[in-house]
Amino acid sequence: MSGIPIKLEVFDGPLDLLLHLIEKNKIDIFDIPIVEITEQYMEVISSYDQKKLDVMSDFLVMAATLMKIKSKMLLPVEVDETGEEIDPRAELVERLLEYKTYKYASFELKDLQVDAAKHIYKGATIPKEIRDFKEEVDVSELLSDITLGKLQQIFHSIMKRQINKIDPIRSNFGQIKKEAVSLEDRIIYIEEYAMLHEKFGFRSMLEEKSDKTTIIVTFLGILELMKVGKLKVVQEQIFDDIFITYNRNAEDVEIVTSSG
């Protein structure tokens, strides 16, 4: 290989110079001809101003490393404990590969930075009056169409979810039947629940029960308590869950069920 005229100022350090020499001469980085590379390396740094010790120190250390590797290459081959040959160039190759990885990664990051600089992002320009606008809701009008029919629609949608949860394979297995749920017991439970929570979601009240029979009886119990005025239905926002509140003024009302 012949000498390559190079300006040292373009290199960030000795590894950068070595990598340039290897790529310029199309050398396999795993099989570096250390004698030729050392000669080219020494030729380049000898042409630089030796008085700039702050710059030259790292290059001189690498020169000494190359000379050491060169001398080891002339000695008989050493082997490690497993009998494998020890390549004096192995550590240098590892450092060059690591440097090459970070160097080209920096190129990618620089390209991303240049591309990003070409974009201009428009900030939010929505007027505060529009951003904070909230349409007034007439609560009385909103609740005017809440009927038992709407509650029944919600009930059917919940029951459909329960059906979709059924495993088509396991559903054919034998099941242990639970004891029948009493409507009177569920009414007592719902009323105690309502007295404790004051306000609760109709949907969440039903969904927390996975047993189909319990869901049906709970639904009927809620309807019975609504009929006598112990429970009130409210909906704060359109499309929100329907909430149920307990009416303490009707605590003394007696509930008579079909089985009572």
Q: What is the pLDDT of residues 44-74, one digit of tens each?
A: 888 776 666 666 788 888 889 999 988 888 8
**Does 126 reside within a domain?**
no
Distance (Å, whole) CA 179 – CA 186 = 13
pLDDT at position 254: 60
Number of domains the chain contains? 2
- The answer to whether the CB of 232 falls within 8 A of the CB of 245 is yes
Distance (Å, whole) CA 40 – CA 43 = 5
Tell me, yes or no, whether 106 and 151 share the same domain. no
Q: What is the CATH number of the domain that holds 194?
A: 1.10.10.580
Tell me, yes or no, whether 145 and 195 share the same domain. yes
Tell me, yes or no, whether 143 and 207 share the same domain. yes
Residue 82: pLDDT over 70? yes
Tell me, yes or no, whether 98 and 159 share the same domain. no
**Does 19 reside within a domain?**
yes
Distances (CA, A) of 238 to 130, 142, 148: 20, 7, 17
Tell me which of 24-28, 120-124, 170-174 is least confident.
170-174
Tell me, yes or no, whether 21 and 106 share the same domain. yes
pLDDT at position 260: 43
Q: What is the pLDDT of residues 4-21, one digit of tens each?
A: 444 444 677 889 889 989
Tell me, yes or no, whether 108 and 39 share the same domain. yes
Distance (Å, whole) CA 151 – CA 130 = 35
Kind and range of the H or E run holding 245:
strand 243-246
Tell me, yes or no, whether 157 and 94 share the same domain. no
Percent of the chain predicted with pLDDT > 90: 5
Angle at 38 between CA 36 and CA 42, to 5 degrees: 120
Domain hosting residue 23, numbered range: 8-116
Distance (Å, whole) CA 34 – CA 40 = 10
